[in-house]
Amino acid sequence: MISDRLAGIEKTLIRRMTEMADPSCLNLGLGEPQFPTPRAIMEHVRDHCRDWPLGYTPNEGYRELRELIALAGGRGASADQVCVTCGAQEAIFAALMVLINPSDEILVPDPGYPAYASIVRICGGIPRPYRLEASSGFSLDVKEIEKALSSRTKALVLNNPHNPTGAVYSDEDIRRLAAVCDDWKIPIISDEVYAAIFFRNPPASPASFSKRVIVIDSLSKTFSMTGWRLGWCILPPDLMNPLAAFHQLSVSCASALSQHAAMFALRGGADAEKEANLKKLKRRRELIMDGLRRHTDLPFIEPAGAFYIMADVSGKAKRFGNSFEIARTILAREKVVTIPGSAFGPGGEGRLRLSFAAGPDEIEEGIRRIGQFLS
């Protein structure tokens, strides 16, 4: 009774590891900031929600919100190129549904967010990985990506800053990648949900260098609004109508309440709390790196963005097994959730993704327990 398109499709290993944990576990597998939605947003919604119409909105989202999104993008896009979605994940799904014909190939990062490849398969396409090598700090290798392109390539998925590695790609590499994709006349689907979370130089968007880019973004990570399910995509004009049609037929529209909250956030109403939370994440980044140095002998690459760090456990494989076996045993024995690198593709094997979106005490104790187990 199951359709061919869903044969073999499962929840991601990220979600399955989290579901294996009980409430007593320390969670270093978090894919969301452990901050509440900013108080200013909550109070704005509380004070005004009775005055808002909360029925269906225009399918593409309120015009005012789309104008704010286009303005925040800062790259000359208009509101007519914006579709407001139920989180960034729906935006990715919609973009791929618009682009893919059966057997089209989509280049996806390895390691990379595992939903990319699954969504490509559901849409009838073939995910083709491009490797991000630890030896180069998980940076982009544009020459190798160009070698992977073929007449069957329909699009390339980019995530910058990158989940799970925390890498932020150089402006020059992004510019070169945009030029290569323009030469091949293929769009880049640029997942920028972590764009506001960086610790050195701000990440570049390929939309700064090319008109053939679909920008994906949301409020989930920036404003701790994962449960509000509010995201968007900014599209080349010729893709807007088909994407809006798919969006209307799949979900009708994003939540009216969430759209009003988003307008307040994008007008700057919660910027003070957003910046305060970013400072906390910077301190937690230092805390987890210091903890790994003090409590473990695991190598790692300092993350430049997002809130993840990849700890190298390949040296423990003979004793403890592969990354999944290590993560599963740490969960069972030490009550700490980590995410095996294999969850993100073959390029992640031999590593654990650790999130520093957790609280300071949880980070410190979680790393201590991991070190205790691996010693």
pLDDT in tens, 89-120: 999 999 999 999 999 999 999 999 999 999 99
pLDDT in tens, 321-335: 999 999 999 999 999
Average pLDDT over residues 274-278: 97
pTM of the model: 0.96
pLDDT in tens, 128-140: 999 999 999 999 9
Find residue 312's DSSP bridge partners.
351
Fold of 39-266: Aspartate Aminotransferase; domain 2 (3.40.640)
Integer Cα distance of 223 and 262 in angstroms: 9
User: Where do the domains of the chain lie?
Assistant: 4-37+271-374, 39-266
* CATH hierarchy code of domain 4-37+271-374: 3.90.1150.10
Average pLDDT over residues 141-158: 97
pLDDT in tens, 279-307: 999 999 999 999 999 999 999 999 999 99
3-state secondary structure the chain: CCCHHHCCCCCCHHHHHHHHCCCCCEECCCCCCCCCCCHHHHHHHHHHHHHCCCCCCCCCCCHHHHHHHHHHHCCCCCHHHEEEECHHHHHHHHHHHHHCCCCCEEEEEECCCCHHHHHHHHCCCEEEEEECCHHHCCCCCHHHHHHHCCCCEEEEEEECCCCCCCCCCCHHHHHHHHHHHHHHCCCEEEECCCCCCECCCCCCCHHHCCCCEEEEEECCCCCCCHHHCCEEEECCHHHHHHHHHHHHHHHCCCCHHHHHHHHHHHCCCCHHHHHHHHHHHHHHHHHHHHHHHHHCCCCECCCCECCEEEEECHHHHHHHCCHHHHHHHHHHHHCEECEEHHHHCHHHCCEEEEECCCCHHHHHHHHHHHHHHHC
Would you place residue 30 in the very low, low, confident or very high pLDDT band (cuts 50, 70, 90)? confident
pLDDT in tens, 186-200: 999 999 999 999 999
Nearest to 83 by CA among 60, 62, 99: 60
* Position 243 pLDDT exceeds 90: yes
β-pair type (82-85, 126-131): unpaired
Contacts of 130 (CB under 8 A, 6+ apart): 107, 108, 109, 110, 141, 144, 145, 148, 156
